[in-house]
Amino acid sequence: MEADSERVAIFMAWPYANGPLHLGHVAGNCLPADIQYKYERARGRSVLMCSGSDEHGTPITLTAEQNGISPQEVVDKYHGINSKSLADLGCSWVDNVDPRGVDFGGTLYNRTSDPMHKDMVRIVFEDLLDAGFLERTTMQQYCSISNGEVRFLPDRYVEGTCPVCSADGARGDQCDDCGSTYEANQLRNPVSKLDPTASVEIRDTDHMFFRLDLFQEELVERSKARTKVWKPNVRAMTKNWLDMGLRPRAVTRDIDWGITLPLEGEDWDSKRVYVWFEAVQGYYTCARIWAERYAVSAGHKHGVDAWENWWKVDSNGVSPKHIYFMGKDNIPFHTIIWPSIIMAMNAAASGNPPTCEPLPGELALESNVPANEFLLLQGGQFSKSRRHGVWLPSFLERYDPDTLRYYLSINMPEGHDSDFRWDEYVNRVNNELIGTYANFVHRVLTLAHRLPNHTSNPLEAYYDSSLHTEHAAIVSEYLQSATESLERQRFKESLRSIMSIAQLGNSILQEAAPWNHIKNTDSSDGIKSLSSLAYCWLLCKGLAVTLRPFIPFQSDRLWEMLGCTEDIDSVSWLDSYSDNSFSWNSSKPNPLFERLDLESILKHEKSLADEEDSKDNESKPTQGGSGDDLIDYEDFVKVEMRTGKILSVEDHPNADKLFVVVIEDGPDSTRTVCAGLKGHYTASQLEGLDIVFVANLRPRKLRGVLSEGMLLAADDEDGNVRVLTPEDGMPPGSLVR
RNA sequence: AGCGGGUUGGAGUAGCCAGGUUAUCUCGUCGGGCUCAUAACCCGGAGACCGGUGGUUCAAAUCCACCACCCGCUACCA
């Protein structure tokens, strides 16, 4: 393979270790990062890939509380599950040291609870503090007090009575009913959503803030220079943040699960590093930890400093290439916050002002941040609580990882959200992956095996390269465009170009019709035809190499069936279609994939869902203690439900999902209620309907409009909503019981 | 309502930032061919006033303005 001195670091956003990975993570993060890594290796480059589990923060502590275990147990569990899923998916995290040798790099799927990560974060914290990039500020924050235990609460976990309009349910800093904002201490009757019985008060608390504002100018300059490189979604999101103006951001918080602070004094004992500040540093700490744990023992020539090859600008001013993969929700962290921290680290080390153009010896900034949009599931967002999702571990138990990799690659949410649909998965796998690609390979292999007895490849004797210059030129164009696409992280486009080569192969076979000459190979037509078959054999070799980033398992299988003895790792991407040597494997070829059957897949998925349902039904009564969920008849009759007739429906002036509905609730009597039915019904569908409503609910303003009751409606797992309506003939105002 | 994204043949998409010959690809559909191959493969056809209305320009899917609808986050809500 030709030497390529380029140094590349592949960074994948750190999955939160609070649950198993779902297909959205795979399509948005894991797969693109892995494809890019494998491609860069095939180019002969030195590549280091870093990521791991993000293991701190409030949600993990809540999961731990709910399950009665420690936060560490939560993250241990999911770090294990997710590491295994990634390996089963064929991602390269399993090779900590590059099989070509440690000088080529390697990978590390680390975790933020790693003591070395924690130490390095504390050192960065100190350096930035000394350099004046962190400042101490006193802020006021809610906390709940229960049994003498003080717990600080984020604003979104507090609600109370609005000081302006007296509405209930106002949030810590803003009232949704009247829209007014106020200082934290003005909210009346604050209550903790996590523990409603605790008393809530305001306390002063000191925190360290990162001076993001100091980097505004450099970031504006940098983002202008990146307009040609960044995707539209990345440009837009970043510009939006910069236009709003950057402000200092707290890097510490009142919580006990996280990295302790390198600060003296009791004040700081109960505080930890804020996750956003610490997890992004994982890209840097992970590279250093890789060097210490793997590069040294594998004999890297630079030992513990090996990481610098992938992180520091070299003496000629050349930066390593840094590519960060993530979903759209993570963009500002990678175009604003993390670059600022890197600039701050550089400035702290050199004593110079921050600059967006790192000098030789300094840490490099991103080369691209190809953020993906979201993968939806049958049109809706993946959701743990609504059980709307396909989880990676259960998927991989049943289906071939390469089929998933193919489908998600060809359907990647690169420009906008895309959809995971079972029928489309089956279609694309059967028609494209199997019909076009695997079928081509199988045709070539079985035809070759039908030629007369042989111990080496029988096609070699017929091959005449001069007959295929036109085809070779087309293949070379496809390869070049696939390569250019991958240089720009355009995976769909790239995969399509490569698939075009398989399609070309099919048409070459069609035209040459070698099956007519298998038994009588001597005619001049026969020789020409078999030369085409021989050329197709060479195409299969190229396809194995160039599809390997996308479907690694089956590429390796194909390579073996072709009888190639050379290590596929040492074949250069650019030369993959130019090697004219003929290998041979005398054992009978087998199809690469099995066709998928949509009906049986849907049946299985449904049975999985039913299983979950029955599990839930069984566990519910025991969960809250038996009988606790039951109410007395007296409680039930307190709810006064009546029939009514909808007279008019109008859009709520200040809410997207609300209708303002006037109902006839008795003879010559009407009332107004707000109903969140927009999107489920049109106004005209509702008008005139007989409905059931709760009549004695305390009236409450909803985004400024007083609602005197509540329409009853049913909703199912899929989010469908239907209003309740009595059988005809009941006059408005009739009691329901 | 705030912020972001989207609207291109029946479905899904490329092209838009850097305006310019017959608007891309996959699936589906119709017709023909092949029979080696996993009912797979190959060739050809039909099908789009590029969401709407204005504007800029010699020229607009592409740039600008306004409008409509869809999605996500936040809010609200059955």
How far is Cα A340 from Cα A606, in angstroms, rounded to an integer?
48
Q: Pick the closest to residue A356 from A308, A307, A306, A313 (CA basis).
A: A313
Sheet holding A170-171, edge to edge: A170-171, A158-161, A188-192
Whose C1' is closest to the CA of A380: which nucleotide?
Answer: B71
Strand B proximal to A381 Cβ, under 7 A: yes
A226 — pLDDT class (breaks 50, 70, 90): confident
Protein residue at shortest CA distance from C1' of B28: A427
Q: Is A686 helix (H, G, I), strand (E, B) or coil?
A: helix
Q: What percent of chain A has pLDDT over 90?
A: 43
Question: What was the pLDDT predicted at A449?
Answer: 92
Whose C1' is closest to the CA of A237: which nucleotide?
Answer: B4
Whose C1' is closest to the CA of A243: which nucleotide?
Answer: B3
How would DSSP label each residue in A103-117?
Answer: GGEEEEEEETT-HHH
Question: What was the pLDDT predicted at A621?
Answer: 33
How would DSSP label each residue in A627-676?
Answer: TTT---HHHHHHS-EEEEEEEEEEE-TT-SS-EEEEEEEETTEEEEEEE-
Q: Is A257 helix (H, G, I), strand (E, B) or coil?
A: coil
Structure tokens at A180: 């007014």
> Residue A3: is its pLDDT beyond 60?
no
Strand B proximal to A170 Cβ, under 7 A: no
pTM, entire model: 0.83
Residues 697-716 of A with CB under 7 A from strand B: 700, 702-703, 710-715
Structure tokens at A627: 């009988």
A173 — pLDDT class (breaks 50, 70, 90): low
Whose C1' is closest to the CA of A694: which nucleotide?
Answer: B78
Contact A552, A402 (CB under 8 A): yes
Question: What was the pLDDT predicted at A626?
Answer: 32
Mean pLDDT, to the nearest integer, of A501-515? Answer: 93
Q: Is A378 helix (H, G, I), strand (E, B) or coil?
A: coil
Question: What was the pLDDT predicted at A520?
Answer: 78
Structure tokens at A588: 């009978």
Residues 656-675 of A with CB under 7 A from strand B: 656-658, 674-675
Mean pLDDT, to the nearest integer, of A703-722? Answer: 67
> Residue A677: is its pLDDT beyond 50?
yes
Q: Is A711 helix (H, G, I), strand (E, B) or coil?
A: strand
Q: Pick the closest to residue A108 from A39, A25, A53, A51 (CA basis).
A: A51
Identify which has the larger pLDDT, A549 or A701: A549
| A432 to A48, A400, A482, A500: CA distances (angstroms) | 32, 15, 17, 10
Query: Residue type for A657, please?
Result: K
Strand B proximal to A503 Cβ, under 7 A: yes
Strand B proximal to A378 Cβ, under 7 A: no
Identify which has the larger pLDDT, A630 or A102: A102
Mean pLDDT, to the nearest integer, of A525-542? Answer: 93
Give the least confident one: A398-407, A408-417, A575-584: A408-417
Q: Exposed (0-12), middle (13-18) or buried (19+): which is A262, by Cβ within 10 Å?
A: middle
Identify which has the larger pLDDT, A190 or A353: A353
Residues 6 or more apart in contact with residue A74 via CB below 8 angstroms = A17, A18, A60, A63, A64, A67
Residues 68-87 of A with CB under 7 A from strand B: none
What is the per-residue pLDDT across A645-658, written as a single tens digit (0 to 9) for each?
888 777 666 666 67
3-class SS string, A590-635? CCCCCCCCHHHHHHHHHHHHHHHHHHHHHHHHHHCCCCCCCCCHHH
Mean pLDDT, to the nearest integer, of A605-622? Answer: 55
Protein residue at shortest CA distance from C1' of B4: A237
3-class SS string, A171-201? ECCECCCCCCECCHHHCEEEEECCCCCCEEE
> Torsions phi, psi of A176, nearest 5?
-75, -25
CA–C1' span, A325 to B24, in Å? Answer: 27
CA–C1' span, A554 to B17, in Å? Answer: 38
Question: What was the pLDDT predicted at A54?
Answer: 92
Give the least confident one: A102-106, A111-115, A669-673, A720-724: A720-724
Query: Residue type for A465, please?
Result: S
Residue A394's beta-bridge partner residues? none
CA–C1' span, A669 to B26, in Å? Answer: 59
CA–C1' span, A548 to B77, in Å? Answer: 48
Whose C1' is closest to the CA of A712: which nucleotide?
Answer: B78
Strand B proximal to A59 Cβ, under 7 A: no
A490 — pLDDT class (breaks 50, 70, 90): confident
Q: Exposed (0-12), middle (13-18) or buried (19+): which is A216, by Cβ within 10 Å?
A: middle
A620 — pLDDT class (breaks 50, 70, 90): very low
Give the least confident one: A92-101, A512-521, A529-538, A609-618: A609-618
Categorise residue A258: left if φ over 0, alpha if ψ from -120 to 50, beta otherwise.
Answer: left
A627 — pLDDT class (breaks 50, 70, 90): very low
Residue A701's beta-bridge partner residues? A706
Helix, strand, coil percentages (3-state) for chain A, rounded to 5, are: 45, 20, 35
Residues 460-479 of A with CB under 7 A from strand B: none
A509 — pLDDT class (breaks 50, 70, 90): very high
Question: What was the pLDDT predicted at A521?
Answer: 73
CA–C1' span, A470 to B23, in Å? Answer: 27
Whose C1' is closest to the CA of A511: which nucleotide?
Answer: B42
Share the mean pLDDT of chain A. Answer: 84
Mean pLDDT, to the nearest integer, of A28-32? Answer: 90
The CA-CA-CA angle for residues A521, A527, A532, to 5°, reads: 115
Q: For residue A149, how many other CB atoms are within 10 A of its CB?
A: 10
Strands A7-12 and A46-53: parallel
Contact A381, A328 (CB under 8 A): no
CA–C1' span, A507 to B46, in Å? Answer: 23
How far is Cα A119 from Cα A361, in angstroms, rounded to an integer?
22
On the CB side of A372, CA atoms within 13 Å amount to 31
Mean pLDDT, to the nearest integer, of A509-516? Answer: 93
CA–C1' span, A636 to B23, in Å? Answer: 64
Give the dihedral of Cα atoms A454, A455, A456, A462; nearest 10 deg.
-10
Identify which has the larger pLDDT, A132 or A2: A132
Q: Exposed (0-12), middle (13-18) or buried (19+): which is A624, by Cβ within 10 Å?
A: exposed
Q: For residue A503, how many other CB atoms are within 10 A of its CB?
A: 15
Question: What was the pLDDT predicted at A568?
Answer: 94
Identify which has the larger pLDDT, A730 or A429: A429
> Torsions phi, psi of A127, nearest 5?
-60, -45
Question: What was the pLDDT predicted at A624?
Answer: 32
CA–C1' span, A231 to B50, in Å? Answer: 22
Q: For residue A122, how many other CB atoms are within 10 A of its CB?
A: 17
What is the per-residue pLDDT across A144-155, written as a single tens digit (0 to 9) for each?
787 777 777 766
Residues 129-158 of A with CB under 7 A from strand B: 156
How far is Cα A468 from Cα A375, in angstroms, rounded to an integer?
42
Question: Which residue shows structure tokens 């390469």?
Answer: A402
Contact A572, A44 (CB under 8 A): yes
Residues 598-637 of A with CB under 7 A from strand B: none
Question: Which residue shows structure tokens 């948005």?
Answer: A28
Give the least confident one: A382-386, A462-466, A526-530, A632-636: A382-386
Question: What was the pLDDT predicted at A401?
Answer: 94
Mean pLDDT, to the nearest integer, of A191-219? Answer: 82
Whose C1' is closest to the CA of A719: which nucleotide?
Answer: B78
Q: What percent of chain A has pLDDT over 70?
A: 85
Q: For residue A714, how many other CB atoms are within 10 A of its CB?
A: 9
> Residue A491: is its pLDDT beyond 80?
yes
What is the per-residue pLDDT across A423-468, written as a single tens digit (0 to 9) for each?
888 988 998 999 999 999 999 999 999 888 778 888 999 999 999 9
CA–C1' span, A377 to B61, in Å? Answer: 29
- Which of the nucleotides in strand B have any atom less than 7 Å away from a protein CB atom? 1-6, 12-18, 25-28, 33-43, 70-78
Identify which has the larger pLDDT, A632 or A534: A534
Give the least confident one: A16-25, A48-57, A199-208, A429-438: A199-208
Residues 399-458 of A with CB under 7 A from strand B: 411, 414-419, 427-428, 430-432, 434-436, 438-440, 442-443, 446-447
Mean pLDDT, to the nearest integer, of A532-540? Answer: 95
